[in-house]
Structure 1
Amino acid sequence: MAIVRLEEITRQFDRVPAIENISFEVPDGQFWVLVGPSGCGKSTILRTIAGLESATSGRIYIDNCLVNDIPARDRDVAMVFQNYALYPHMSVADNLAFGLKMRGADRQTQQRQVQAVARSLSLELLLDRKPKQLSGGQQQRVALGRAIAREPKVFLLDEPLSNLDAQLRDDTRAELKQLHQRLGITTIYVTHDQIEAMTLADRIVILDGGRIQQIGDPQTVYTQPANRMVATFIGNPPMNIFSATYHEGHFAIAGQTMPCPGVLRRAIAPSPGQTFDLGLRPEAIAIGSPQSSPPGDLATLTAIVELVEPLGRETLMRLTLPGSPTSFAAIAPGRVQSHPGDRLTVSFDGDRLFVFDRATGSTLYPA
């Protein structure tokens, strides 16, 4: 196990930066997730840590050892790829033992490690099979097992679940989390799926455009996003964003108004006519006007139903404000009787409002 530290890492391809000034430190034994949209640089960071890419500038430390000039095979890290990368002509047992064999482990050590890993990943009955005789989930467990058998200092996982179907992905994600809890090996995991990031991570690193946007535990990045990008990327369904103008204690949104909470006015001191982007998560928007909410907490607006998506215990509704081309999402409990084109009342919870700078996207409220 080891600490992984990156100091001002930049990687350029043909003078175009893929990542810029990346700095963070993963404590020993923690599970960190790099997440962001396609092309944000998360896989480049992982490959640079592994030694498969060379940093243009900056320093990488593993277990307090500078590894910039150390080849990948000598960094004592194990990487699991999206496509499994199993040897098709080898049995499961031979695939699991391959890393140990390459490091010169004796046959007894190889057999002992393979049996231990097979037990931990429920692969004991599959050791004689070839990869083509395995399901996708079983192949992924073999790829993970090959990395575990080496007992590396660091695990690097590059979207290892993206080829699995939804149910198998959920199951394997749970297995992966339990496995980390048992082994406690420092792990860095790359995904574009924010649900994986939220459920697996001790800390999440959100990236966009090759730069870090925010680092924090899952609850913090959800409730206290650093900017509009983080706010809209973390959360499913994503946060709704409304263009608004401040006037005399109210926000004007698409020709309708909602009160500006006093605590918000004191925090950001808005000027008359000043424009903002307001954020509300779908769970902060109620269909109708709940009678249980205290007066003044809710802003009641008129909306038009665009789409109704029943999800069983709740219904996701996509709506628009009259005169606005932008749709937004709200979650209604249970089954609803609304249909596309219907007009209805929605209530915005002002106490759960986010305010972003229109130009920079930075979070103005809550601080």
Structure 2
Amino acid sequence: MANVRLDKINRVYNNVTAIEDISFEVPDGEFWVLLGPSGCGKSTILRTIAGLETASSGNLYINNRLMNEVPARQRDVAMVFQNYALYPHMTVAENLAFGLKMRQVQPQMMQEQIHKVARSLSIDHLLNRKPKQLSGGQQQRVALGRAIVREPQVFLLDEPLSNLDAQLRDDTRAELKKLHQRLKITTIYVTHDQTEAMTLADKIVVLDQGKIQQIGEPQTVYAHPNNQMVATFLGNPPMNILPVTYANSIFWIGNQSFNCPIELQEKLSPTDKQSLNLGIRPEHINLVTSDYNQENIQPNRQKSNQVLLSVEVDVIEPLGRETLVRANLVLSNASQFSQTLIQFQTPVQISLKPGDRISITLDLNYAVIFDPNTRKQVGY
């Protein structure tokens, strides 16, 4: 096992910067996830660590050893690709054994390791089959097994679950987590799936346009995003971003207004007429029903920090255990805000339809404020 450190890594292709000033260190034995939209540079970082790409500048260290000039085969890392990359003419056993043969491991020891890993991944009954005889999930486990059997210093996984169906992806994700808990091998995992990132990672590295946006523990990144990109990328449904104007201790959204909590005023020190973006996650929004009781909403929070807004229902999306509501803020004489969308969830027993005008409460104890120009969080 080993730590992995990137120090100001850049990669430029034909004058186009793919990744810029990438610096972070993955401690020995931890599971880190590189998360971001397609084209943000996740796979380029992973391939640079593996030695399949060469950094244009910067330094890469594995186990505190400079790796810039070390070829891929000597880096002692194992990479699992999105398309599995199994040898189609080889059996499962032969695929698992390939890396060991390259290392000239003794045949008896090789067989012991193959069977041990195959049992741990529940593929020991598939050893004599070829990849075309396997399901997608079985092929994925073989690809993981081929990496594990080598006992590398570092695992690199490039969207390994993206080709699996939803149920199998969930099952395999849980198996991956258990596997890491058992092996404790330093792992760097690339995905655009936030669920994978939140459930697997010790730390998440959020990327966009080749740059790091935020690094932190999953719950910290979720609750305290550095900027609007992180806020809206992490979370399903994403964080709502509402344009507000501050004036005399009051937030205005078009013609609707509510008091700005003292805590926010002290943290933000806003000026009159200042425009801000207020971020609020759907789980911190509640529907006000006919039997609305102030005492029953967030009783452990200050009621003064829960504010009312009027919205008009636009789309209803039943999700089984809850209903996702997409609504527009009811704003008159404020055309620039006329399309302000707000999303929240309601219990399935509550019946709503498009066009309904309803009231909702926002718990400002969980509000995040962004500068509309820089899109960075203010006062954090």
TM-score by length of 1: 0.98
Secondary structure of residue in 1 paired with 2:87: coil
Kept in 1, the 8 Å contact 2:224–2:368? The answer is no
Residue 11 (structure 2) aligns with: 11
5 Å-filtered alignment, 1:1-367, equals 1-288=1-288, 290-291=293-294, 292-293=296-297, 295-323=303-331, 324-365=338-379, 367=380
Structure 2: gaps (5+ residues): 332-337
TM-aligned CA deviation for residue 262 of structure 1: 0.7
Question: What one-letter code is carried by the residue in structure 2 that aligns with 1:329?
Answer: Q
Bigger Cα displacement from structure 2, 315-324 vs 139-148: 315-324
Kept in 2, the 8 Å contact 1:240–1:280? The answer is yes
Question: What one-letter code is carried by the residue in structure 2 that aligns with 1:16?
Answer: V
Alpha-carbon separation, structure 2, partners of 1:335 and 1:149:
51
Kept in 2, the 8 Å contact 1:140–1:160? The answer is yes
Runs of 4+ deviating beyond 6 Å: none
Alpha-carbon separation, structure 2, partners of 1:151 and 1:333:
48
Alpha-carbon separation, structure 1, partners of 2:170 and 2:99:
28
Alpha-carbon separation, structure 2, partners of 1:252 and 1:236:
27
Alpha-carbon separation, structure 2, partners of 1:115 and 1:295:
60
Secondary structure of residue in 1 paired with 2:215: strand
Give percent identity, aligned residues only: 62
Alpha-carbon separation, structure 1, partners of 2:305 and 2:67:
55
TM-score by length of 2: 0.94
Secondary structure of residue in 2 paired with 1:363: coil
Kept in 2, the 8 Å contact 1:92–1:142? The answer is yes
Alpha-carbon separation, structure 1, partners of 2:214 and 2:293:
35
Alpha-carbon separation, structure 1, partners of 2:194 and 2:266:
33
Kept in 2, the 8 Å contact 1:4–1:25? The answer is yes
Kept in 2, the 8 Å contact 1:312–1:335? The answer is no
Secondary structure of residue in 2 paired with 1:364: coil
Q: Aligned-pair RMSD on alpha carbons?
A: 1.1
Q: Deviations over 1:140-175 (max 9, x none)?
A: 000000000111000000000000011100000000
Kept in 2, the 8 Å contact 1:80–1:147? The answer is yes
TM-aligned CA deviation for residue 300 of structure 1: 1.1
Bigger Cα displacement from structure 2, 245-254 vs 274-283: 245-254
Alpha-carbon separation, structure 2, partners of 1:117 and 1:89:
21
Alpha-carbon separation, structure 2, partners of 1:60 and 1:166:
35
Question: What one-letter code is carried by the residue in structure 1 that aligns with 2:33?
Answer: V
Structure 1: gaps (5+ residues): none
Secondary structure of residue in 2 paired with 1:23: strand
Q: Deviations over 1:213-239 (max 9, x none)?
A: 111111111111111111111112110
Question: What one-letter code is carried by the residue in structure 1 that aligns with 2:329?
Answer: L
Secondary structure of residue in 2 paired with 1:225: coil
Alpha-carbon separation, structure 2, partners of 1:16 and 1:258:
46
TM-aligned CA deviation for residue 348 of structure 1: 1.2
Q: Deviations over 1:198-219 (max 9, x none)?
A: 0000000011111111111111
Alpha-carbon separation, structure 1, partners of 2:229 and 2:343:
17
Kept in 2, the 8 Å contact 1:356–1:362? The answer is yes
TM-aligned CA deviation for residue 326 of structure 1: 2.8
Question: What one-letter code is carried by the residue in structure 1 that aligns with 2:149?
Answer: A
TM-aligned CA deviation for residue 313 of structure 1: 2.2
Secondary structure of residue in 2 paired with 1:142: helix
TM-aligned CA deviation for residue 104 of structure 1: 1.4
Q: Deviations over 1:311-330 (max 9, x none)?
A: 22221111111242132210
Alpha-carbon separation, structure 2, partners of 1:95 and 1:214:
38
Q: Deviations over 1:70-110 (max 9, x none)?
A: 11011000000000011111111111111111121121122
TM-aligned CA deviation for residue 182 of structure 1: 0.5
TM-aligned CA deviation for residue 290 of structure 1: 4.8
Alpha-carbon separation, structure 1, partners of 2:355 and 2:168:
37
Using a 3 Å threshold, how does the CA distance of structure 1 residues 83 and 17 change in structure 2: closer, same or farther?
A: same
Q: Deviations over 1:338-366 (max 9, x none)?
A: 0111111111112111100111111114x
Q: Aligned residues, how many? A: 366
